[in-house]
Structure formats: structure tokens, C-alpha cells
Amino acid sequence: MTYQESLDYLFTQLPMYQRTGAAAMKKDLTNIRVLLEWLGNPHEKLRCIHVAGTNGKGTTCHLLAAALQAHGQSVAMYTSPHYKDFRERIKINAEFISEEAVVDFVKRFKGSNLKIEPSFFEITVAMAFDYFAQQQPSWCIVEVGLGGRLDSTNVITPVLSVITNIGYDHTQFLGDTLELIAGEKGGIIKPGVPVIIGETQVETTPVFKELARANRSQMIFADQAYEIKLVGMRGMDNLKYFSIGLSGAETGLIVGTDLEGPHLSKNLLTAYAALLLLHGNDFEVSGESVQFGWKQVAASTYYIGRWQVLQQRKPFCIADSAHNTEGLVPVIERLKAMEKPLHIVLGVVNDKDLSKALPLFPKDATYYFVKADIPRGLPAEKLRGTAVGYGLIGEVYSSVDEGYAQAKLDACAWEATEGAVFVGGSIFTVAEVL
């Protein structure tokens, strides 16, 4: 079996949420437990940090990884979905799992005769834990796929749980109120395991407090215990600097980071609180190491797709994979603040609630409606038809690449009023321009 044959099996033979949506969802942890038992329960041999939340969980994972690596620790990371390469999901110190290891796992699974029909996600979680157990990194940072309570990653007993925030996303699975969604994501809170909550929210705070009480878990709200202030915009080193420290303190640790994006300060605060709570777990936090690690997050952890600059000029082009209200609002505000004519390449998935997303976009932008090359993508004609009702005007293009190419041409058509190009709507749309 070749690597490509292994990928073909994973992508086409197994139910995959990114391709088919709800049909790939499993509503219990039976399959993943069977898989892990077959593998000798590799997840029990790992020291894990479990990260859930509606927005920012991927960035928080990468910030934690960068800081821990800067302390000389080897850090495995399981994240999803991937942008360009399946192996992005499973990496150690930014190095992807090898093609040979993927092939070996698929061959072993196909020959196992297990009496289950696992999903794509269940198989990849099992593959990750199996690989990490073989490699024995110092830490494993595990990002929840969807929700928390019934997510396949929720078989671990971590040393720390992190929940970044709660917003309205995947409501068909998690519930249609913030309280219900918090209950699902709070399902990663384990007995006696401390938990960091990134953002205090009126609706969700009682839910988390009750879960922490029931589990006798120490809980810290990052935005109550610590504060962060912007102290310097990007300078000669192209970094943005923040002061971060205890709430009310006169001085804090000055950190510069190569990351960008409208959610950056919240994610930094959550990651900082998590690092300090790890202090003492055979790990001592060094401010100098945190500073060093956060200056090179992108390179040291393979961080892509979030407020990523595609080109700086002629025209300025940027992509971001935010796709729900809480994620999109600050992204769009940031775009408007550029005070440039906006050319927006937009593609979404077919289960997206457009009545919540489309009203957020500016009516004075030019739109390029596209469909990402996945079965779950919403046809561009249908997207345009709905968008017109919200005052968003543009043309349909046969591919993301075609729409992006036209947007760049149009943005440079009048040199005196050069525009900016934004690509977004879903991770799959963004993936095609990276």
C-alpha cells in the first residue's frame, strides 16, 4: 500500500465530517475506545493538555506548543482539520508524522478485523495517540474536534483542560443556547484536573462553575486573573508587543509575537494562564523562554490559515478561516479599518447558517462567490442568490483560484485607489489559496 492509497482509503472509505457533514458524526465514544484498546491504550502513556472552545482553540494550541518548545520540551500536537496536508493534524515540534507511519497504521487497521466502522476523525485520533506513544514527547497538546463531551479526543485524562470561549457554532449538534453549548464543551473537565476558561461570559460562567464544583477541579478564568495590554505595534522586527501579567499589577511580562489577528490578545492571555498553571508539573515557567517562543510561533509550530498575509502589496491580500459570528465580527471590523476598497472571495459549507453570517459582511465590498473543492461546499450560485438578499453583490466563479485571481486584478485596476483582497468563509476556501 502506498501513501496515496492510504490517503484515498482515509478520505473516501471512511465517513468524514469535513466532506459529508452530519452523516459522519458519531454520538458516543465506543469506537474510539475500541480502537485505543486494540492499540494498547496509547493515550494512557501521554502527558496531555486538552483544548476546547468555539474560537481560538487552534491558536491557543500553537501558542502553548511554541512556549513549551522554547523551554526545551518536545511537544506533540493533534489539531483538525488540516489545510493542505493530512499530516498537519499529527506533528511533533512542527514535524509532520511520516508518510511511512501513516501507511503502517492504515495497513494495521485494515488487517485488524475490528467489528466497528469508525469515522475518519476516530481513525485519525487513534493514529495520533498511537504515533505519539511511540515517540514519547514531553507533552501532547490535543485540540477538540467538535464540542467536547462526545468528541473522540475526550478519552484522555489530561494534566490541564482549557476552554477558550463559547459561541454559536455547530448548534445542530451542541444545542442552540450558549448554556447548552458550554455544557457540551465543558464535558472535557475531568475529576481533579484543573481547567482554564479563556473568557468570562454571563451565560456560561454558572455552567462551568457547576462542572468544576462537581469534578472538584480548580478553575481559573484567564481574563479575571490576568490582563494584557498592547504596548507596541509592529516595528523593525515585525512583531507586535504586549504586556501580560496579574490583573491590577503595575508591570507585566513584555512579549512580542509574530502572530496577527483580531483575537490575538485573548488567545495570548489564555495560553499565558495555562502555562502558569502547568508550573510545577515537572516544568518551570521561564519568562525568557515564553518571550523567545512567542516570537516565532508560525515557524516553530507550523501555524497557517489565521489572518495570514498572502501578499503585502499590489494588492494587499489576506486570508482567515473564521466562519462563525464570534470569529467573523472582529475579522470584518479589522478589514473595514483598513479603509481600502474591499474585494472579498467568499465560499462556505452547505450547513452554515447564512442568516447569521452574511449580515456581518460589508455591503460596499465587491464579492467573488466560490465553492471550495469539497462535496460539503455550498454551490457558488446558491451562495450568491442568498447573499443578494443581504445587499452583497458580486459574481460567481468556477473555482476559488479563479475568484482569487480576478479579485487581485480588480483590486489593482485603479492604482490611485488600490484595494485589499480577503479570502474566507471556511477553512476549505482558505486552504485553496495558501
Residue 22 is predicted with a pLDDT of 53
- Considering the domain delimited by 308-431, tell me its CATH architecture: Alpha-Beta Complex (3.90)
Residue 319 is predicted with a pLDDT of 97
Reported CATH class of domain 3-301: alpha beta
Residue 419 is predicted with a pLDDT of 95
Kindly report the pTM of this predicted structure: 0.93
* 13: enclosing H helix or E strand: helix 3-13
CA triple 11-428-122, angle to 5 deg: 40
Residue 382 is predicted with a pLDDT of 97
Which of 84, 90, 88 is closest to 105 using CA atoms? 90
Residue 234 is predicted with a pLDDT of 66
Cell of 194: 484543573
- Cis, peptide link before residue 315, omega less than 30° from 0: yes
Edge-to-edge strand ranges of the sheet holding 90-92: 95-96, 90-92, 75-78, 139-143, 48-52, 160-163, 195-197, 219-221
55, 311, 315 from 147: Cα distances, Å:
12, 34, 38
How far apart are the C-alpha atoms of 135 and 132, rounded to whole Å? 5
Residue 22, amino acid: A
Which of 401, 405, 332, 392 is closest to 372 using CA atoms? 401
Residue in the structure block whose three cell numbers are 495520533 = 128
Structural domain spans, the chain: 3-301, 308-431
Q: Which residue ranges of the chain lie beneath pLDDT 70?
A: 15-26, 234-236, 415
Which of 366, 306, 358 is closest to 329 using CA atoms? 358
Residue 21 is predicted with a pLDDT of 52
- Give residues with Cβ within 8 angstroms of 55, minimum separation 6: 164, 165, 167, 263, 322, 324, 326, 327
Residue 41 is predicted with a pLDDT of 98
